[in-house]
Amino acid sequence: MTLLPLRVLLVEDQEDDAELILVALRQAGYAPQCRRVQTQPEMVEALRSGSWDVILSDCNLPSFDAANALQIVKAFGLDLPFVVVSGAIGEETAVAFMKAGAHDYVMKGNLPRLAPAIERELRDAAERAARRLAEQALADSEERYRTIVDAAHDTILLVDADWCISFANRRAPDMLGYACDQLIGLPFSTLIDLADRDEWGLRLRQIHQGGAFELDLRLRRSDGRDIWATSSCTRLPAANGAFGGAIVMLKDVTERRLAAEALRHQALHDALTGLPNRTLLQDRLQQAVFSARRENRRIAVLLIDLDRFKDVNDAFGHHYGDLLLKEVGDRLQHALRESDTVARLGGDEFAVILSSCLEVEDAKLAAVKILKALDEPFIIEQQNLRVAGSIGVVVHPDHGEDVNTLLRRADVAMYAAKREGDGYSMHGTDQEEASASRLKLSAQLRDGIRLGELELYYQPKVGLRTRELKGVEALVRWNHPEQGLVVPDAFIPLAEQTGLIKPLSRWVVETALHQWREWHRRGLELTVAFNLSMRNLHDPHLPDMLEELLQGFHLPPGALQAEITETVLMTNATRTLDVVTRLSNLGVQLSIDDFGTGYSSLAYLKRLPVRELKIDKSFVHDMAANENDMVIVRSTIDLGHSLDMKVTAEGVETPEAWDRLDALGCDLAQGYYMARPMPVAAFESWVGRGIYVPNPRPTAVA
Ligand code: C2E
Ligand code: CA
Ligand code: CA
């Protein structure tokens, strides 16, 4: 039989007793390695230097006893089986030892009981040690988890079965604004923004059924600030498998969310005015169309284009232009209801959706309201600026059922308003056709310019006093392959809108220039005038183009004249002055066309290198019947002369008009009375006849 080694620390003064104990142990199958101590210092030394399986202690020693020994063991923090082995002691003493920490008590007279007692105590001690180890491991791992939970960047909450918070990690107070102890006991849902609570409630049902979920929530911090968090919830089971609560993890995604929202906003709004852009407008319009269909309502779309915005930009610079656009945006919003959408589509184009419009007439009223709002002068950094708007109006479902049709027809209506100059225009079917034929016409014009379908007609300007031919105005005609001769009013505005005015003007100037040279070669000295339109003056390359054409021509001053209408000159002050000055430096004289229809400022006129004023034909026509027009004609002549300009009257149709203009001292006359605009050949034979003014005048006319 192999003996079990047993390290015994024996507290005993009696040699014999010690021997008896060892014998008893050996008999029970142990191989005791024993150290016997009798004093306190020996005991301390033995515990310090050796390790022991069991301590057997006599009750009383001369300088020591079991109680002392127990204290020492405790002081060492050891959990060793401690068995008191002694002679007869009283029951009470025995109980006191046990209370002090001894594990068992064996009488020396009953040593066979010692081994089983030791055996049991060793087992118990081993169990205790194992439990201690397990507890330590548990404590360690809890500590580890705790550290992880606290170090986590996310908020981690435990909620109980009633969704009240029972634990919050260290991050929670930072994120939610509440102290940890404020959070404990708080129903989790009170942290959630009202708008998100329904969705949250739905998800709770899911988790009660055993799932886990993730949901983006808007949370309200204790200071009232809103934050966004991605929440993920995992269910915690209770002992009986019921719902025992959950772990709620909250990741703060506020910044990401705000950045995404800012991007979204940016993508859908106009940076300058902050208004919805075209994309958002289309989206809103789609929504509005859907709900209008559902509810059987009308909605209206208004497209607004500013009429003189470009002039402001040109005259005052982009800074003013930008401020003006902002102000326009504000005015539009103020003029309409909050439920209406105001958007900026780009440039000087705005759009409005009227979300409810009972009658078609209501849309017109809104257009009038907008025009009125724009009519007030804009005061931008002390500058008094004026713009006007042209508005295209369409109503759903009357004028179109889908977004694209509505926007397209609003665009056509807007152009109609612009063309007709009456503020707003509502969609009509004829507009649709008109726009289609305009498209066709502009394609034909493009080809026509290239294929030489244009022709210049010349209309004479005759001196009133001298009755001599002084010059001609070149007026363009289009020999349309199907439509025959087309007058400029039918295609010049189109050419302006489509940019074709550039090649057209180039052709006109080039042709007029060659014609002048040809006449000059043949000894016919004439001033040849050509017309420039609004777009020509916006074209910074115009003077370059003219310079290129004029190279090689040694033009005497007064050979070439550019006619620019008064309104164009006045609305483009800064840019125009520049272009006009360059033209004048090239030797091209300036003539102000349709004078009297605009509002020229005398000061501005003086700054322009203008050589001629042309009185608009409407005044000349009405001069005979209307005293007021007569006054205008007379004062224009006087004004022109005081500024050292020649004055030409256009639209002279009758001998009376001729006489009256002659009497008023007007310099030149142009009109059907003398001659209509004519092709070159007709003009040349007219010149050949030598009668520039019908003469003698028919005196018989009543
Ligand atoms: P405008 O410059 O005012 O030209 C005078 C217009 O009055 C011409 O019409 C002419 O035919 C017409 N007219 C001449 N005498 C009389 C008259 O006694 N009574 C009446 N009732 N009308 C008379 P037209 O040729 O149809 O030209 C119309 C407008 O088209 C011109 O007005 C001018 O602004 C523009 N235009 C003509 N040619 C060109 C061109 O080459 N380039 C540009 N940009 N515009 C042009
Ligand atoms: Ca003219
Ligand atoms: Ca004119």
pLDDT tens digits, one per residue of 449-469 = 999 999 999 999 999 999 999
Phi–psi pair at 649, nearest 5 degrees:
-105, 130
Residues, the chain = 702
- 84: helix, coil or strand? strand
**pLDDT tens-digit readout, 530-577:** 999 877 887 878 888 888 888 877 778 779 999 998 877 766 566 777
Ligand 1 near 423 CB (within 6 A)? no
Helices 40-49 and 66-75, axial angle in degrees (round to 10): 40
Q: What is the pLDDT of residue 686?
A: 96
Distances (CA, A) of 429 to 129, 332, 350, 434: 99, 28, 23, 9
Nearest CA to ligand 1 atom 27: 488
Residues 6+ apart with CB under 8 A from 571: 308, 311
| Helix-then-strand count for the chain, H and E | 26, 28
Nearest CA to ligand 1 atom 46: 531
Q: What is the pLDDT of residue 515?
A: 95
Ligand 1 near 593 CB (within 6 A)? yes
Ligand 1 near 648 CB (within 6 A)? no
Ligand 1 near 596 CB (within 6 A)? no
Token pair 């772990």: residue: 247
Ligand 1 near 533 CB (within 6 A)? yes
- Residue 532 CA: which ligand 1 atom is closest? 44
Q: Is there a contact between 298 and 398 (Cβ–Cβ < 8 Å)?
A: yes
- How far is 270 from 348, CA to CA, in rounded Å? 12
Token pair 């005609």: residue: 477
Residues 6+ apart with CB under 8 A from 519: 525, 526
Handedness of CA 391, 395, 396, 398 (dihedral sign): negative
Distances (CA, A) of 631 to 24, 302, 603, 624, 638: 152, 43, 21, 11, 11
- How far is 513 from 551, CA to CA, in rounded Å? 11
Token pair 């009375």: residue: 673
For the chain, the C-alpha Rg in angstroms (whole number) is 54
Nearest CA to ligand 1 atom 41: 476
Exposed, middle or buried by CB within 10 Å (0-12, 13-18, 19+), for 665? Answer: middle
Q: What is the pLDDT of residue 702?
A: 37
- How far is 248 from 233, CA to CA, in rounded Å? 5
Ligand 1 near 617 CB (within 6 A)? yes
Exposed, middle or buried by CB within 10 Å (0-12, 13-18, 19+), for 159? Answer: buried
- Say which ligand is closest to the CA of 529: 2
Query: Which of 531, 529, 543 has its CA nearest to residue 568?
Result: 531
Ligand 1 near 115 CB (within 6 A)? no
Ligand 1 near 531 CB (within 6 A)? yes
- Residue 496 CA: which ligand 1 atom is closest? 44
Nearest CA to ligand 1 atom 8: 475
Beta bridge partners of 230: 216, 251
Residues of the chain with pLDDT under 70: 1, 429-435, 570-574, 598-602, 695-702
Ligand 1 near 459 CB (within 6 A)? yes
Ligand 1 near 338 CB (within 6 A)? no
Nearest CA to ligand 1 atom 22: 651
Ligand 2 centroid to 531 CA: how many Å? Answer: 5
Q: What is the pLDDT of residue 538?
A: 76
Structure tokens at 402: 């889908």
Q: What is the pLDDT of residue 577?
A: 79
Distances (CA, A) of 103 to 15, 19, 56, 77, 113: 24, 22, 10, 15, 14
Nearest CA to ligand 1 atom 30: 488
Q: What is the pLDDT of residue 576?
A: 75
Nearest CA to ligand 1 atom 14: 671
- Of 472, 475, 507, 537, the residue with max ligand 1 atoms within 8 A of its CB, to mutate for a pocket test, comes to 475
Ligand 1 centroid to 623 CA: how many Å? Answer: 20
Query: Which of 270, 231, 266, 281 has its CA nearest to residue 252?
Result: 231
- Say which ligand is closest to the CA of 568: 1
Judge if pTM exceeds 0.75. no
Distances (CA, A) of 52 to 9, 97, 115, 475, 690: 6, 20, 16, 128, 149
- Residue 653 CA: which ligand 1 atom is closest? 18
Proportion of the chain above pLDDT 90, given as a percent:
56
Q: Are strands 668-670 and 646-650 parallel, antiparallel or unpaired?
A: parallel
- Residue 530 CA: which ligand 1 atom is closest? 41
